[in-house]
Amino acid sequence: MAFYLSPLVAVNEIDLSTTIPAVATSIAVAVLRSTWKGAENKQKLITDENELIKEFGKPTSTAACYRDILSAAGFLRWGNKLYCTRVMPLSATFAGTKATSGAGTDFVAYTTGNAYKLTDLPSEDPDQFHDDFPATGTDPFWMIAISRGAWGNKVRLAVADYATYSAMVTGGFSTWETYNAISTVDTAVESAEEFLIVVQAQEQGESTWSTVETWNVSTNTSKLDDEGISQYANNKINQESQMVRISMNPLQNNDTITISTSAFQTFAGGDNDLGTSITDAEIMAAYDLYQNPEEIDVNIFIDSAKSNDVKQYITTICETRFDAMSVLDCPYSAVVNNSGSELSDLRE
């Protein structure tokens, strides 16, 4: 119906009862304990279950891991925005290996006795490995897995310098174990400052090796590739690789590099816990990454069988933010294998 309050001014009535209001998107937070792999101290946005498994691995037999992964996967069945942060025991270590000679194929893998923990890195960020621990002595470079844990022991690499790669292209070094992995890479190594790294890995639960990354990098700190992106090894690999981090020796910068591997160099030294467990304080520190509403937009905090102290901490964060809610689990003992007593035990 329309009527006029004054000449040429019409007022219309619109029935809003049939209008569907816009609903705020649910953006959840999950802290994942002792997963197969995955970044720590980071807010990783996950949009589906496949991405969750790719980033953090399949659920393992560790109770905390499979409960957290399955809770995250459960949310992703209905939502598509989930921030995840991985937490590992303090003693967990990075797998890795060191190229220990400027000429030849000498590599020395880390052991559990000398492998790095996260707290060994001043930045507590493996992306800054090159700044925290630049390779020393005559070692051209060191490498570690991108995150802590035994998964890194399933990573290996092949390396070829300019002379070796050029010879392989014409059929040289065909008896090397690394020959097929290196010679079939369709990217030219064009100068004595450049070298090729081929990264192979075994998938979780698998025993076969497959090439997952190849890196044509340089010791030249100002070298750019055809797309204008830095080709310097520290920059290229540490900014783009989903598997490894490298630390070049500053003495190697802008110099010829002569190192090639006739056999694959397997990372070692990665360990999940070395006998220690994740503390509530470490879990709370992961949730702290999401406590400031001015820095990150989230509105659901997922618990998944954390301790009562952690549950209270999550609730406090939500109350402080004023824009989020916590979804807390009840004790497993009250509802699992407790037929007939669930309600009474939950009330206690």
Residues in the chain with pLDDT values less than 50: 19-23
In whole angstroms, give the CA distance from residue 31 to residue 299: 15
- With beta carbons less than 8 A apart as the criterion, state whether 198 and 211 touch: yes
Task: For domain 28-88+278-347, give the CATH number.
Answer: 3.40.50.11780
Phi, then psi, of 60 in degrees rounded to 5? -100, -175
Phi, then psi, of 108 in degrees rounded to 5? -130, 115
Q: Which helix (H) or strand (E) holds 115?
A: none
Q: For residue 13, what pLDDT is reported? A: 66
Note the pTM of the prediction, 2 decimals. Answer: 0.87
Cα-based distances in Å from 31 to 39, 72, 168, 297, 303: 11, 9, 47, 16, 8
For 130-160, the pLDDT digits (tens) are 999 999 999 999 999 999 999 999 999 999 9
Q: For residue 21, what pLDDT is reported? A: 43
Sign of the CA dihedral with 143 first, then 281, 327, and 301 last:
negative
Q: For residue 337, what pLDDT is reported? A: 75
Q: For residue 140, what pLDDT is reported? A: 94
**Helix boundaries (H) for 98-228:** 129-132, 162-169, 179-183
Q: For residue 103, what pLDDT is reported? A: 53
Residue 99 has which token pair?
A: 């190229």
CB atoms within 10 A of CB 257: 24
In whole angstroms, give the CA distance from residue 19 to residue 97: 62
Ranges for all domains in the chain classified under CATH 3.40.50.11780: 28-88+278-347
Give the DSSP per-residue string, 318-332.
HHHHSS-EEE-PPPH
Q: For residue 100, what pLDDT is reported? A: 87
* C-alpha closest to that of 101 among 135, 126, 134: 135
For 194-220, the pLDDT digits (tens) are 999 999 999 999 999 999 999 999 999
**Helix boundaries (H) for the chain:** 49-56, 63-76, 129-132, 162-169, 179-183, 233-240, 280-288, 308-321, 332-335, 342-347
